[in-house]
């Protein structure tokens, strides 16, 4: 194994899971997310020599975002809208702690599905910054670098995303009766 590949694996591969999670939120399909990550990893490997002292995670997530944008452009050209996956994780089982009892597990499951559905309803600009900040735990500067917008725009989008999510959450919780109260 050559030195370049060894350095790539040591620096980039630890962020593979974060790349997939981000791609999953962008693409909304496990298969599309896998394709995005595969394309991003190929681009990252090709451009690895150009990386100099940068935040590798932010660099890789920027590539994932750019691959998503390219895929969207190509998809619009073909005017093809994919149908949701039959066994989509958002419609399937949520990750819940095994220590929870059945009632708590049911509540957590409902809340997780509701939250995921509400996040999906957010505009893409809001969803991107929300996922990068709250799920990927990226700082504002890294998010600005990934999304290629000014730091102030990141902060305002994040505030608006949180506000919209909060409003949708309370509207949803009050509007829908739940099985367990």
Please, which pLDDT band fits residue 94 given cuts at 50, 70 and 90? Answer: very low
Which residue would you say has higher pLDDT here, 16 or 106? 16
Options 1.10.1740.10, 1.10.3430.10, 3.90.1150.10, 3.30.70.1170; which CATH number does 1-81 get? 1.10.1740.10
The distance from CA 137 to its chain's CA centroid, rounded to whole angstroms, is 11
Q: What is the CATH number of domain 99-181?
A: 1.10.10.10
Residues constituting the chain: 181
- Taken in order 169, 165, 69, 10, the sign of the CA dihedral is negative
Indicate yes or no: pTM above 0.85.
no
The pLDDT tens digits of the residues spanning 8-22 come to: 888 889 999 999 999
Point out the least confidently predicted range of 1-15, 34-48, 148-162: 1-15
pLDDT of the residue at 112: 80
Provide the phi-psi class of 138: left if phi over 0, else alpha when psi is between -120 and 50, else beta: beta
**Do 99-181 and 1-81 have the same topology in CATH?**
no
Task: For the chain, give every domain's residue range.
Answer: 1-81, 99-181
Phi, psi of 22 (to 5 degrees): -65, -45
pLDDT of the residue at 83: 56
Which residue would you say has higher pLDDT here, 89 or 13? 13
Point out the least confidently predicted range of 48-62, 75-89, 130-144: 75-89
């Amino acid at each position: 194994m050559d030195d370049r590949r060894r350095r790539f694996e040591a620096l980039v591969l630890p962020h593979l899971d974060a790349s997939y999670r981000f791609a999953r939120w962008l693409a909304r399909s496990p298969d599309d997310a896998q394709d995005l990550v595969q394309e991003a990893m190929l681009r990252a490997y090709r451009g690895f020599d150009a990386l100099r002292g940068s935040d590798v995670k932010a660099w890789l997530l920027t590539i994932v975002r750019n691959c998503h944008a390219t895929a969207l452009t190509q998809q619009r050209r073909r005017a093809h809208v994919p149908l949701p996956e039959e066994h989509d994780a958002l419609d399937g089982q949520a990750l819940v702690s095994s220590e929870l009892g059945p009632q708590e597990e049911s509540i957590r499951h409902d809340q997780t599905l509701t939250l995921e559905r509400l996040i999906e309803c957010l505009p893409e600009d809001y969803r991107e910054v929300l996922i990068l900040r709250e799920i990927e735990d990226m700082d504002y500067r890294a998010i600005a670098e990934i999304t290629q917008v000014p730091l102030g725009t990141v902060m305002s989008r994040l505030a608006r995303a949180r506000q919209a999510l909060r409003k949708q959450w309370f509207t949803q919780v009050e509007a829908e009766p739940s099985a367990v109260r």
